[in-house]
Amino acid sequence: MAKPRGAKARASEVFARLGEVFPGSSAELCALHHDGAFQLLAATILSAQCTDERVNATTPALFARYPSPSDLAGADPEELESIIRSTGFFHAKAHSLIGMARGVDERFGGVVPSKMEELVTLPGVGRKTANVVLSVAFDKPGLPVDTHVGRLAKRLGLTVEDDPGKVESDLCSYLPPNEWGALSLRLILHGRATCKARNPDCLHCSLADICPSAGRVAAVAVAGRGTAGRRRATASATAEKAD
């Protein structure tokens, strides 16, 4: 098969191939357990610097105690922190959750807004979080860019940018809006399973033959480990001589 020529053609092929490995819509691919936009928004805020598994283990107690935006808006910060402590950064997350809930309750009548410009006015809600809610909860165009998406987009030659907003813009220019959310989640899943930051498994990657970085990133990682090993060995020998 001829390699796709140019970033746009490559993006389409990436979307198709990853769709065979990770089929489904944004809602079906989302790993965060939730029932509706409010729960997804809260879970996404909790997911910062935390695994989806840990968030999913935490949210049942959170939503049992605070089932609605008005309930969460009136939460006692210390009680809330005790519930979400295991997700890390619990002081900041509790502050964001209460602020978000108050915003939804007071400014949007208790209903999570479905527009980007409104979502990002809520405390703790940036563009990435808003895109998650738009694409998953509302089935609207939205392409969240996290560290996995940014890393894979560069390795696949789909962007040269580091800024998430610019990466989002580049990726959105390649595919129709109804595919943005699924592309993001497929890249995230592929990044976790195969194209890892330190040890990409290029040998078993379904995108290796169309990826400009295939083999090269893994080789650099191996070389880096070799260099680190030589440094440790040299340091150990030096220490033994000193003794």
| Helix axes 7-21 and 180-193, enclosed angle (nearest 10) | 70
Q: Which one of 93, 105, 128, 170 is the catalytic residue? A: 128
Residue 146 designated active-site: yes
Q: Which residues, 6 or more positions from 157, have their beta carbon under 8 angstroms from its beta carbon?
A: 7, 10, 211, 212, 213
Q: Which residues, 6 or more positions from 221, have their beta carbon under 8 angstroms from its beta carbon?
A: 198, 199, 200
Distance CA 73, CA 60 (A): 17
Distance CA 206, CA 173 (A): 23
Structure tokens at 71: 């309930």
Q: Which one of 8, 52, 76, 146 is the catalytic residue? A: 146
Is 134 within 8 Å of 142 (Cβ atoms)?
A: yes
Is 37 within 8 Å of 30 (Cβ atoms)?
A: no
Size of the chain, expressed as the number of residues it contains = 243
Task: With CA atoms as reference, report the closest residue to 38 among 113, 93, 124, 96.
Answer: 113
Residue 154 designated active-site: no
DSSP for 20-84, please give it.
Answer: HHS-S-HHHH--S--SSHHHHHHHHHHTTTS-HHHHHHHHHHHHHH--SHHHHHT--HHHHHHHH
Q: Which residues form the catalytic set? A: 128, 146
